[in-house]
Amino acid sequence: MSDSVYKFVEFVGTSKESWEEAVRNAINTAAKRYSDLRIAEVVKLDTVIEGNRLSLFRARVKVSYRYHL
């Protein structure tokens, strides 16, 4: 096995439906820019409350990808 180097980038995904969809949106966006994604770490979940109702789910996600020199 050869040595590898990985880099982390952070994305904030949003969804009106769920935190799971917010995470998926962050990862899908990362995949458009970076190839060879490896790990996704959910750093923080939060939500926006409007009129006693959850109106927007947000997920801060750290995504690692293999860094090619």
What is the overall mean pLDDT for the chain?
94
* Rounded average pLDDT over 15-43: 96
Structural fold of domain 6-66: Dodecin subunit-like (3.30.1660)
Please report, as a single letter, which amino acid is at residue 62.
K
List the structure tokens of 17.
């439906």
For residues 12 and 62, the answer to whether their CB atoms sit within 8 Å is no
Summarised one tens digit per residue, pLDDT across range 8-27 is 999 999 999 999 999 999 99
State the chain's maximal CA–CA distance in angstroms.
Answer: 55
Backbone torsions φ then ψ of 33, nearest 5 degrees: -100, -35
List the structure tokens of 34.
């970076």
Residue 42 has pLDDT above 90, yes or no: yes
Q: What is the pLDDT of residue 2?
A: 67
Please report, as a single letter, which amino acid is at residue 33.
R
Strand partners, 53: 50
The pTM (predicted TM-score) of the whole model is 0.87
